Amino acid sequence: MKQIGFVRHGVTAWNKERKWQGHSDIPLDPEGIAEAEKAAARLADEDWEIIYASPMKRALRTAEIIREANPDIPLVTDGRLVEVFGGQLEGTTEQDRIEKWGSEWRSLLPSLGMEPDEDMVARGMAFLEEIRKRPEDKVLLVTHGGFIRRLLRALVPDLEHSDRILNTSVTVVEMRDDRNLCTLYNCTKHLSDA
């Protein structure tokens, strides 16, 4: 059985402004760095064997901070862990999208250049198939909210998903031969613990 831990990156200025990030390479802001440090302290006690990270600044910096608290485990970047490409949506707020394309803008997604969900899920599942063959049993992935949400829908279809994966939240999936089981979902207890 493989245990996969998904960690969303810390908060960025664009997260706070509610701008669509996608492939826009926005760094963590100071609060995001502090969130990543809290996540790192939490994860240091959990015996993860390897960290894979999206090479995008916000995810990679989060992963580096986690690794600083776990210096004996390797950190590897993989381009398949990048966020869903947002096309023309990147850098826009909900209000911007309504002004540009109307309140039904979601119906226009294919024409606005957004990466189709099935393409993102295919790259994520291909990555996980490789991970399944590796010797490590506890694998941490530091990536992006849209990526995690879409991949979880494919991995654990019966899981009740929220619309938003929280910054530095931890989600754990046990990949079994017969089915996958989500044992922890969207948990941010490290942000509220004193």
Position 110 scores a pLDDT of 85
Whether residue 153 has pLDDT greater than 90: yes
Show binding-site residues: 8-15, 58
**pLDDT level of residue 160 (50, 70, 90 thresholds):** confident
Q: Is the pLDDT of residue 136 over 60?
A: yes
CATH of the domain at 63: 3.40.50.1240
* The predicted structure's pLDDT at residue 162: 75
Which pLDDT value is given to residue 12? 98
- Burial (0-12, 13-18, 19+ Cβ within 10 Å), 187: middle
Mean pLDDT of 5-9: 98
The domain tally of the chain equals 1
pLDDT for the residue numbered 60? 98
For the chain, the average pLDDT equals: 95
Domain extent at residue 150? 2-192
| Confidence check: pLDDT of 31 > 90 | yes
Asked whether the predicted pLDDT for residue 193 surpasses 70, the reply is: no
For residues 20-36, give the mean pLDDT: 97
Q: Give the residue numbers marked as catalytic.
A: 9, 83
Nearest one of 129, 163, 139 to 7, comparing CA atoms:
139
Q: Kindly report, residue by residue over 36-89, the tens digit of the pLDDT.
A: 999 999 999 899 999 999 999 999 999 999 999 999 999 999 999 999 999 999
- Residues forming the annotated binding site for substrate? 8-15, 58
